[in-house]
Chains A and B, each alone.
Chain A
Amino acid sequence: MTLTEAKFEYLLRLGDNALILGHRLSEWCGHGPILEQDIAITNIALDQVGQARSLLQYAAEVEGKGRSEDDLAYTRDVMQFRNLLLVEQPNEDFAYTIVRQFLFDNFNFLLHQALTQSKDEHLRAIAEKSLKEITYHLRYSSEWMIRLGDGTEESHQKMQTALDDLFIYSGELTSPDEVDQQMHEAGIGPDLDRLKPAYDQKVKDILAEATLQLPEVKYMQSGGKDGRMHTEHLGFILAELQFVQRAYPGMEW
Chain B
Amino acid sequence: MKSCIFAYKHKAILPSASQSFYDNMKEPNQHTFEDQFQARIDAEERIEPKDWMPEKYRKTLIRQISQHAHSEIVGMLPEGNWVTRAPSLRRKVALLAKVQDEAGHGLYLYGAAETLGAERDDLLDELHTGKAKYSSIFNYPTLSWADIGAIGWLVDGAAIMNQVPLCRCSYGPYARAMVRVCKEESFHQRQGYEIMLTLARGSEAQKQMAQDALNRWWWPSLMMFGPSDKDSKHTAQSMAWKIKRFTNDELRQRFVDITAPQAEFLGLTIPDEDLRYNAETGHYEFGAINWDEFWQVVSGDGPCNRQRLKARRKAHEEGAWVRDAAVAYAEKRRQRKAAAAQQQQVA
Alpha-carbon gap, A34 to B73, bound state (A): 11
Stretch at the interface among A112-120, A144-152, A166-174, A189-197: A144-152
A52 in contact with B89 (CB, 8 Å): yes
Q: Give 10 pairs: A residue, B residue, CB < 8 Å, sorted on A.
A: A29-B96, A33-B318, A37-B322, A70-B88, A73-B89, A146-B329, A148-B329, A158-B321, A251-B202, A253-B145
B198 within 8 A of A: yes
A42 in contact with B100 (CB, 8 Å): yes
Q: Which chain A residue shows the least CB distance to B86?
A: A244
Count, chain B residues at interface, CB 8 A: 46
A140 within 8 A of B: no
Contact with B along A218-253 (1 / 0, CB 8 A): 000000000000000000000011011100100111
19 more CB-based (< 8 A) A-B contacts, given A33-B319, A243-B85:
A26-B83, A26-B84, A27-B84, A29-B96, A31-B311, A33-B323, A34-B322, A35-B107, A35-B110, A39-B107, A43-B100, A45-B96, A49-B89, A49-B92, A53-B93, A147-B326, A155-B322, A241-B85, A253-B88
A-B contact count (CB 8 A): 134
Residue of A37, A53, A240, A253 with most chain B CB atoms under a 10 A cut-off: A253
B117 within 8 A of A: no
Within 8 A of A (CB), among B88-103: 88-93, 96-97, 99-100, 103
Within 8 A of A (CB), among B61-116: 73, 76-77, 79-80, 83-93, 96-97, 99-100, 103-104, 106-107, 110
B43 within 8 A of A: no
B106 in contact with A35 (CB, 8 Å): yes
B325 within 8 A of A: yes
Q: Which listed residue, A33, A154, A251, touches B203 by the CB 8 Å rule?
A: A251
B206 within 8 A of A: yes
Interface band, chain A: 35 or more
A215 within 8 A of B: no
Question: Nearest chain A CB to B106's CB is how many angstroms away?
Answer: 6
Q: Which chain B residue shows the least CB distance to A154?
A: B321
A39 in contact with B104 (CB, 8 Å): yes
Chain A interface main SS type: helix
Query: Which residues from chain A sit less than 8 Å from chain B, CB to CB?
Result: 19, 23, 26-27, 29-39, 42-43, 45-46, 49-50, 52-53, 56, 69-70, 73-74, 93-94, 146-148, 150-152, 154-155, 158, 240-241, 243-245, 248, 251-253
Q: Which chain B residue shows the least CB distance to A23?
A: B84
Q: Which chain B residue shows the least CB distance to A146?
A: B329
Given contacts A33-B319, A150-B329, A155-B321, contact A53 B99 (CB under 8 A): no
Contacting residues, chain B, for A152 (C-beta < 8 A): 321, 324-325, 328
